[in-house]
Amino acid sequence: MNEPILKVENLTHIYSPGTPFEMTALDNIDLDIYKGEILGIIGHTGSGKSTLIQHLNALIKPTSGRILLEGRDINESKQSVREVRGKVGLVFQYPEYQLFEETVYRDIAFGPKNMKLDPAEIDRRVRLAARFTGVEESLLERSPFDLSGGQKRRVAIAGVIAMMPEVLVLDEPMAGLDPGGREEIMENIMTYHRETGAAIVIVTHSMEEAASRADRMAVLSHGKVAMTGTPEEVFARGEELRRMGLATPVMTDVADKLRALGVELPGTVYTVEQMVSALMELEGGKRRA
């Protein structure tokens, strides 16, 4: 793989240190994020996913350890913090709660304005980001508070995309949406990835989503990186995942059960497509026999 754009080195984060509420949320984490990749981050509730990704654009600071952007410590100076805010865009969980401007247009323009871009460039970016996220032009002059939940979510994501980040980090971007809305948001993110080559870091609860979209996955458990690897490599360790309180993809469970019944299913199976081709292969094998 190519160079890492972000490198997390020995990262520890302790909330409220030295108080009775002291909580080690991240315990000596190492993680590389490569240019242009799609990295899925999964882990049980409280495993440290949100804490980890808030470090990636210097929103919160390490208790110890470093985050390097193209080899440079992002917390080194005001200048380096400014630089990482421009290159690494962070979409919080339920980002629609942070919409506050009078119009959708102004909400999407907020980030680029802070970057001190000229008005023509801001306008270009607002329209581009709206296109990436499927926000129709006719909505731009509306109040964000008049929109549906799914539309608000898209506007909030557009506000980050308008900064044209090289790494787009999203914390459970599909949470709370119906299946149609989830699929649309995912497609919007993928369009941004395809057309700009940006890396995508996506925290998700859905194994199916992680499995079908990610190039690589990182599994967090109790503040540590328990596994990294391709979806194939990670889902091949179904027993360990289940012990960490993580559900494996439905098709992986079905494949495990079929194997337990003596069906010699070939290959790794975690999507419906893979299940179909594994069954076809099996069927073909039988016919040949």
Ligand X SMILES: Nc1ncnc2c1ncn2[C@@H]1O[C@H](COP(=O)(O)OP(=O)(O)O)[C@@H](O)[C@H]1O
* 213, interface contact from ligand X, Mg ion, none, CB < 5-8 Å by kind: none
In this complex, which beta carbon is closest to ligand X, that of residue 60 or of residue 282? 60
Give yes or no for a contact between 58 and 49, defined as CB atoms under 8 angstroms apart.
no
184: nearest Cα among 148, 160, 146:
148
Of positions 8, 11, 25, 186, contacts ligand X by CB under 6 A: 25
- For 183, the enclosing helix (H) or strand (E) is helix 179-196
Q: Does 23 bind ligand X (CB under 6 A)?
A: yes
Of positions 28, 50, 103, 212, contacts Mg ion by CB under 5 A: 50
Helix spans in 28-167 (H)? 49-55, 78-87, 104-114, 119-132, 149-161
142: nearest Cα among 161, 155, 159:
155
Q: Does 173 bind ligand X (CB under 6 A)?
A: no
In this complex, which beta carbon is closest to ligand X, that of residue 47 or of residue 271? 47
Q: Does 15 bind ligand X (CB under 6 A)?
A: yes
CB of 241 to Mg ion, least distance (A): 18
Place of tokens 């859905």: 206
Give yes or no for a contact between 219 and 247, defined as CB atoms under 8 angstroms apart.
no
Q: Does 252 bind ligand X (CB under 6 A)?
A: no
Q: Does 88 bind ligand X (CB under 6 A)?
A: no
Residue 87 Cα distances to 97, 160, 162, 199, angstroms: 23, 11, 11, 11
Torsion of CA 60, 47, 189, 81, to 10 degrees: 10
- Write the interaction track for ligand X spanning residues 28-67; mark x where CB under 6 A is met and - where it is not: ---------------x-xxxxxxx----------------
Q: Does 54 bind Mg ion (CB under 5 A)?
A: no
Interface with ligand X: number of residues (CB under 6 A): 12
In this complex, which beta carbon is closest to ligand X, that of residue 43 or of residue 238? 43
Which residues are within 8 A (CB) of 203 and not within 5 positions of it... i.e. 6 or more apart? 41, 42, 49, 50, 53, 93, 170, 171, 172
In this complex, which beta carbon is closest to ligand X, that of residue 113 or of residue 224? 224
Q: Near Mg ion by CB under 5 A, which window of 21-29, 41-49, 126-134, 233-241?
A: 41-49
* 46, interface contact from ligand X, Mg ion, none, CB < 5-8 Å by kind: ligand X
Q: Does 94 bind ligand X (CB under 6 A)?
A: no
Where does this chain bind ligand X (CB under 6 A)?
15-16, 23, 25, 43, 45-51
